[in-house]
Amino acid sequence: MTWLLALILLPIVGALLVAGLRANDRTATLAALAVSIVELLLIIPLWLAYDPSGERIQQASSMEWIPAFGIHVSFGIDGIALIMIAVIALLVPIVIGAMNSTGKLPQGRTAGGFLSLILLQEALTIAVFAATDVFLFYVLFEIMLIPMYFLIGGYGGANRQYAAVKFFLYSFLGGLLMLASAIGAYSLAADRLGQGTFDWATLVTVVREAPASTQIWLFLGFFLAFAIKAPLVPFHTWLPDAAGQAPIGVTVLLVGVLDKVGTFGFLRYCLPMFPEASRQLAPLVLVLAVVGIIYGSILAAGQRDMKRFVAYVSIAHFGFIALGIFAFTPQAVAGSATYMLNHSIATGMLILVVGIVAARGGSTRIADYGGMFKVTPILGGMLLIAGLSTLSLPGTNSFISEFLVLLGAFETRPAYAIVATIGMVLAAAYVLWLYQRIMTGPVRGDALVGVWDNTAARSASVAGGGGSQVGGGPGTAAAPEIGAKKAIRDLSKKEIAVLAPLVVLIVVLGFYPKPVLDTVTPSVNATVAAVQER
């Protein structure tokens, strides 16, 4: 038993426990929160036990599963997997803690059912990042779609069934392409070694020696599966629908973590296993990356729905991550690896704040809001912090990642890096424009106007002297009754506490990213060396 296995098994046990508490939503929520906090605490010994200067794969464990085909249940982590496991362990308790603030569950649905699926999703996602057997990775890649399908289809918005089916079919079909390539790699190993295997380290050694034409065909199966999952343009169309219909907490996990399985797959599988194919097809991938940056940015600026806005912002960011990976320089790949973490933090906070805004105002339409900062200044400040991190302002966590991506990409792919910088300008435009429309200007929206008018009337009454008189003497102007319309309140202490860890990480990693960079650098260097070696 390793710390890593404990991290995989604990949420599964927790999911079974919470599923049995469906009759009591409060108890189920507290139980799920407790399990997720213990899971987060287990990250501490896992992180401390990881030695960046040691073996690439650590916390390794393996047992035979299907011996006839050399298939094992094998787990282990490198620095890149470690930071992704850490971020999902961080986001799950935050999602659970914010659940009551980001909208109600559909009528007839229980918190126990919802949270058991969340915990199961956490376990499967951690297992995907930790798998070191290629067949096991494929199985988990497909199985982790099941809880997400039910989370979107069972607890989402009006078009949830369409969004859930589209999400499932895209990812499932991509996984089948990966399976075909994995079987091809297995056959190569059987021809060269006399016995087939799905062990990742062995396949890296064997497949990289295959002819370029063979590598290209095998590369395409893995690449398409990961490009759909990431997603890269033009394989992205499922994401705006899924993110737009999923509950806020589910959107956090979908955009913040599940999508990173795609970019993680580029780093773990595509580059080391198929170095020649990666080099030959890099220009095509880079075109898709920069097109995604510009395309996602332009469509984000034109969105009318806040949740779909976040989806297109993420498509642009995944373009930056892909650009760094296929630039093949240590700086760019390190930037992409840390961008995976920092995007999860920044976008996770942005989605949560958007969810709180929508829950307060009863709508995700941007046009339904305006001047909200006058009514909810703390919420407005949280949206600003999340937005500034999203646009990679210096001093926020995302800046160093984007800077390293562009710096490294400029060394080998200057034309693509120059085009990508346009995305930075567009990011500032669409984030600040979103903030301006929601938080500044005249107060708009029935709920906001009701509270603002009542507050302004009461302030005017007090200023006129009537508010200080008792009994309705001359000059008294009775203040309208607050709450005549739906009240919009600012963040509570509990909600501030839920968002506080993300704010702290945005600031701390903005000024001191060294712990994360030190953790991923050895894995990054090994990946770059593998793809550059001829």
Which residues partner with 24 through β-bridges?
Answer: none
237-293, pLDDT tens digit by residue?
999 999 999 999 999 999 999 999 999 999 999 999 999 999 999 999 999 999 999
Given a cut of 80, whether residue 151 has pLDDT beyond it is yes
- 302, pLDDT greater than 80: yes
- The model's pLDDT over 471-527, given as tens digits with 9 standing for 90+, comes to 443 333 333 333 334 567 889 999 999 999 999 999 999 999 999 999 999 999 999
Enter the tokens of residue 148.
Answer: 């997400």
At residue 262, the pLDDT reads 95
Q: What is the DSSP string of 292-332?
A: HHHHHHHHHHT-SBHHHHHHHHHHHHHHHHHHHHTTT-HHH
CB 364 within 8 Å of CB 306: yes
Long-range contacts of 420-423 (CB under 8 A, 24+ apart): 420/289, 420/290, 420/293, 420/319, 420/320, 420/323, 422/293, 422/294, 422/297, 423/290, 423/293, 423/294, 423/297, 423/316, 423/319, 423/320
Helix (H) / strand (E) containing 99: none
Instruction: Identify the weakest region by mean pLDDT among 95-109, 321-335, 353-367, 501-515.
Output: 95-109
Q: What would the DSSP string read from start to end of 441-491?
A: SS-BSHHHHHHHHHHHHHHHHHHTTGGG-SS--TT--PPPPTTSS------
| Res 98: pLDDT | 92
| pLDDT of res. 453 | 52
Q: Could you report the per-residue pLDDT of 28-56, keeping only the tens digit for each? A: 999 999 999 999 999 999 999 999 998 99
Residue 205 has pLDDT above 50, yes or no: yes
Percent of all residues in the chain with a pLDDT value above 70, rounded to a whole number: 91
What is the pLDDT confidence band of residue 321, given thresholds at 50, 70 and 90? very high
pLDDT(386) > 90: yes
Distance, in Å, from the CA atom of 90 to the CA atom of 37, rounded to the nearest integer, reads 8
In the structure encoding, which two tokens stand for residue 48, read together?
Answer: 């401390």
3-class secondary structure, 87 = helix
Mean pLDDT of the chain: 89
User: Is there a cis peptide before residue 11, judged by omega within 30 degrees of 0?
Assistant: no
Picking from 252, 361, 241, the residue whose alpha carbon sits closest to that of residue 308 is: 241
Q: Rounded distance, CA 293 to CA 287, Å?
A: 10
pLDDT of residue 161: 92
User: Can you tell me the distance from the alpha carbon of 320 to that of 527, in angstroms, rounded to the nearest whole number?
Assistant: 18
Q: Which whole number is the average pLDDT over 412-427?
A: 93
pLDDT reported for residue 483? 36
**Cis peptide upstream of residue 106 (ω within 30 degrees of 0):** no
Supply the pLDDT for residue 110: 87
- Kindly state the average pLDDT of the residues 58-74: 92
Gap between the Cα atoms of 219 and 178, Å rounded: 9
Task: Encode pLDDT of 330-356 as tens digits.
Answer: 999 999 999 999 999 999 999 999 999
Q: Is the per-residue pLDDT at 457 higher than 60? A: no
Average pLDDT on 132-147 reads 96
